[in-house]
Amino acid sequence: MKAIILARVSTKEQQEEGQSIPAQVRRVTEYALKKEFQVAHTFQIAESSNKDTRKQFDQIIALINKSKEPIALIVDTVDRLQRSFRETPILDKLRKEGKLELHFLRENLIVSQNANSAQLMLWDMCVIFASNYVRQLSDNVKRSKEQCIRNGTWSSKAPFGYKNITLLSGRKSIIIDQDKAPYVIKMFELYATGLHSFQTVANEMDRLGIKNAYGRQILPSRIEVTLKNPFYYGTMRIKGNLYSHTYPPLISENLFQKVQRIMQGHNKAPVQYAGKPILLRGLMTCKQCGCTITGDIKKEKYVYYSCANSKKICKKIWVREEQLLETLLKYLDHIELTDDQVQEVATHLKQAYTQEQEFFKHAQQTLRTKLDHIQNRLSRLIDMHLDGSIDQETYRIKLNEYKQQQREVTEEMQSHVDGDESCLITAQIVFGLAKHAKLLFESSNLIEKQHLLRFLYSNLTLDAGKLLVELKEPFHSMAQIKNRPEWLGWKDSNLRITGPKPVALPLGYTPVKTIEKILINTTESKSDYFHM
C-alpha cells in the first residue's frame, strides 16, 4: 500500500519540545517501513491546524482522490492532522469509500474502512481532546494579554523609536531606541507645523538618512501609522481601547493631539499642486457659490483667476493676478505700526508681563502641590495592591486614572512655562513681521509667499471680480491702530490698562490688553513664520 507521511508543527515551542518536523518524519518513516508501506509523498507543514485555509492539507486530499488504490495517511498523533471536527467529514468519506486509512502512531490507532465503533469513538475522543487543547491555549493567550494590559506592558513588537529587549531576569521589556527616537519626535514636530503632508515628512526622513527595515525609503503610509500611534505619549491602543503603559513617552499628549487635529483638517496646509506654479491657487473661494478660485496662465506669462464653477451657478469672470496682489499689498502697509506705537504696546506688554509673574509662580506652586498629591495616591495604591487590599481590576482602573491626572497636571505646568516665556518673544515676532511684511513678500519665492499669505490672511473671497480680504488677528487689530493716532488717549497716569471710558474710543476699538491676549494665542503660529 502506498503511504503519505504528514509532519506538522505550529509553534517554535513545539520544535523545542521534541515535536520538530525531522523528529516526526523519522518516527513515522520507521513505522511505514515496518508496515512495508511504499512512501509516495512526505508533507512537512509549518502552520496551525485551525487556520481557515490549509493548502497542503487540501493537496493531500486531492492526491488521495486521484489515487486508484488505497492510501495510508500516517501521522505522529491525531492533533498533527486535526484539532477540530471540520476535517472529519472529508476524511471519513474517503475512509468509507476505501480510499483512505488513517494511522496514528502515539494513539496506536488505525482507522480503516472496516473500523469498528470503538476505533471510531477513540478517533472522535482524540479530536475532542485536541480541540479542547486549542480552546485552552486560546484562553491562556487571552488571559496573558489581559494581564499585560493590567500591568501596562506591550506584548508585541515595539513601535518605531523603541526596541524590544530581554532583561537579565529573562523578562521581555521595551526601551527607547536612542538612534531612532529623535526622528519620531521630528516627525511629530514637522507635521504639527501644519505645513507638511505625510509625503513631505517621508521625504525629510529620507533626506536625514532614515530607512525602513528593508533599507528603503519610509513610505507615507508608515508616517501616517506612526503619527496616529498614541504609544508615543504613554498610551497603547488595543482593539480600539486606550490603556496606559509603563514605558517612557517620546512626546507630550498635547503635541500628539495637535497632530491629530491637523490630520482631521484643522490648520492643515493646502494641497501642493503638481501643475504649473500659481501663487494664489487654493487660497481664495468664490463669494457666490463657495467653490475654489482656480488660476490659469495665458500666453505663458499672464495669470488669471476665476471661479471653478463646480456648482454651475456662477458666471465666469477672469481677474488678473496683478490686480489681486495690489489689494493684498495695500493691507501689508496697513499693519505696519510706527515705532512709537510699537514702543507703547511693548511697554504695556512688559508691565503686564511683570504683573503676570506672580500669577505664574502661584499657579506653578498650586500645580506642584497637586502633582505631589497624585504621586502620594499612586504610592498608596501600589502598596494596597502589593498587600492584596484591592483586586486587580480596581487597581488597573485607579492606576490609569491617576496616571492620566499626572499627565494632565504635568502638561499644564509646561503650558504655563511655555506661555510665560513666549509672550514677549511672540510680540517681537509679530511686530517684526508686520514691519517688514511687504519687503519679505517681495523678496520671497513662490512657496514662501504662499506661507506668508496664509499666516496673515484668514479668508480671501472673490466677489464678481473684487477681492474681499480678512486679516488674521492680531494683524486685524494692528490695521485698526495704524489708522487711529489717538489710540493711546485713554491711558491713565499710573500706566495700567483700564477699560475704555464712554465715548472716548471709536466703536469696535480693540484695547492693548486684547492685543496682548491675541499675541499669546499666536504663539503656535510663530513656527510658520520661522519655517519660511
For 75-116, how does the pLDDT look when each residue is reduced to its tens digit (9 = 90+)? 988 888 887 888 889 999 999 999 999 999 988 999 999 999
Chain mean pLDDT for the chain = 77
Q: Report which of 148, 175, 317, 319 is spatially closest to residue 243, judged by C-alpha positions.
A: 148
Beta strands in 155-239 (DSSP E): 162-166, 172-176, 235-238
Q: Report which of 425, 441, 422, 430 is spatially closest to residue 337, judged by C-alpha positions.
A: 430
Q: Which helix (H) or strand (E) holds 415?
A: helix 392-443
**422 & 488 share domain:** yes
Q: What is the pTM of this model?
A: 0.44
Residue 331 lies in a domain: no
Q: Which helix (H) or strand (E) holds 5?
A: strand 2-9
Give the CATH number, domain containing residue 254.
Answer: 3.90.1750.20
Residue 270 lies in a domain: no
**184 & 94 share domain:** no
Q: Report which of 306, 312, 309 is spatially closest to residue 465, judged by C-alpha positions.
A: 306
**132 & 174 share domain:** no
**123 & 194 share domain:** no
Last-in-domain residue among 208, 228, 263: 263
Sign of CA dihedral 159, 162, 165, 171: negative
Give residue 201's domain range. 162-263
Note the Cα 18 to chain centre separation in Å: 43
pLDDT band at 416 (very low <50, low <70, confident <90, very high): low
Residue 175 lies in a domain: yes
Give the CATH number, domain containing residue 44.
Answer: 3.40.50.1390
Last-in-domain residue among 245, 263, 281: 263
Q: Which tops the pLDDT comparison, 123 or 270?
A: 123
pLDDT at 489 over 80: no
Residue 82 lies in a domain: yes
Beta bridge partners of 172: 166
Q: Would you tell me how many other CB atoms lie within 10 Å of the CB of residue 300?
A: 6
Q: How many domains does the chain have?
A: 3
Measure the CA–CA gap between 407 and 499, rounded to whole angstroms: 38
Last-in-domain residue among 111, 145, 179: 145
422-477: pLDDT as tens digits: 555 556 667 777 777 777 788 878 877 887 888 888 888 999 889 998 888 777 77
Residue 305 lies in a domain: no
Q: Which set of grid coordinates corresponds to residue 36?
A: 512495508
**360 & 499 share domain:** yes
Residue 97 lies in a domain: yes
